[in-house]
Amino acid sequence: MSLSTVAAVGRFLAQLEVNAERLPISWHSGEPLTVSPEFYSAAFETLRDTPGCPALQHQMQTNGTLIDDRWCDLFVAWDVQVGLSIDGPQWIHDVCRLDRQGRGSFDRAARGVRKLVDHGIRPSVIAVLSETSLQHPDAVWTALTELGFGMIAFNVVELEGANALRQRDFSATVCRAYEDFLCRIAELRADRPEVGVRELDETRRFLKLPAGQDVHSIENIPGAIVSISAAGGVSTFSPELMDLQHDKYGHFIFGNVHEHSWSQIRSNPHFASIAASVALGVERCRQRCAFFELCGGGAPSNKLGEHNTVEATETLDCRIRVQAVTEAYLRTIGV
């Protein structure tokens, strides 16, 4: 992303109504640290100096292999929230997270974590769970807590919509395994209550909401997530939609920060048409799903991937991320 586009992002953000002390802005790509610390320092300064740009909370999700003292100095100077992607112990992590030479990345990622801790930064972690790691919750928990993570999140490997073969069998098997996995994680956390577990903590918070207070999904509300490409293209809803071209819906780029404000994008007929379809899918979830109050209507990217329409209801993502998590919480903790 050029600094001229960064400046255009700042002007775009200056026109938004922000209901937060600091607007979270996530620098996200295949690996955001392949760009130099100097780029981010210049980009952060550009945004800070843009008239009207809201105060920002910068965030990065990284594989951790490139973290050194220079990166840590940047993170500390700008109060960047850092998340790492580590899947558990080395023998699990290195199965899938290989570099271009086919080498495992665990040792380098762990070194990055230690660098962060040495600089007073306590990162969070997202662990991707395979069918193998779902069978080893103790090993996953021990590895992540020993690395010093204060917040742990789990993403289950998803079956893509185009690969529909065995989807129902896959769903039932993985949901049961994931439910059992989280039950064991809850037991292990009893000895480490200071460690957050995103799935269990969010479910508890949702179940404790006062009557009449709804849970919303930021992936199906226009503008709750705004995704901006390196060239300045603007999308919303699920970030995964940005690069898609669909036979029915066309593209999911609704404008460009160099040319359009958010109000102009909202008045775009193409945007309005897709937003209406997403809203219809949410309403159908509201009418049909017993888990709606813990979900808010699901993610349009998963609906599109599995059912070829954003107007669909239940997905494999719902069964894993919402239903299995809720059942695990109720089994182990109760309400």
Q: Could you give the domains of the chain?
A: 3-157 (3.20.20.70), 226-332 (no CATH)
Strand runs labelled E in the chain: 23-27, 56-62, 81-85, 124-129, 151-156, 196-197, 226-228, 233-236, 245-246, 250-251, 255-256
Q: Which residue has the higher pLDDT, 159 or 311?
A: 311
Task: Residue 118: count other Cβ atoms within 10 Å of its Cβ.
Answer: 10
pLDDT at 166: 44
pLDDT in tens, 251-265: 999 999 999 999 999
Q: What are 265-313's pLDDT values in tens digits?
A: 999 999 999 999 999 999 999 999 999 988 899 999 999 998 999 999 9
**Per-residue pLDDT reduced to its tens digit, 80-96:** 999 999 999 999 999 98
Q: What are phi and psi of 334, to 5 degrees?
A: 80, 175
- Report if pTM > 0.85: yes
Provide CB contacts within 8 A for 152, sequence distance 6+. 124, 125, 127, 141, 144, 145, 195, 196, 197, 198
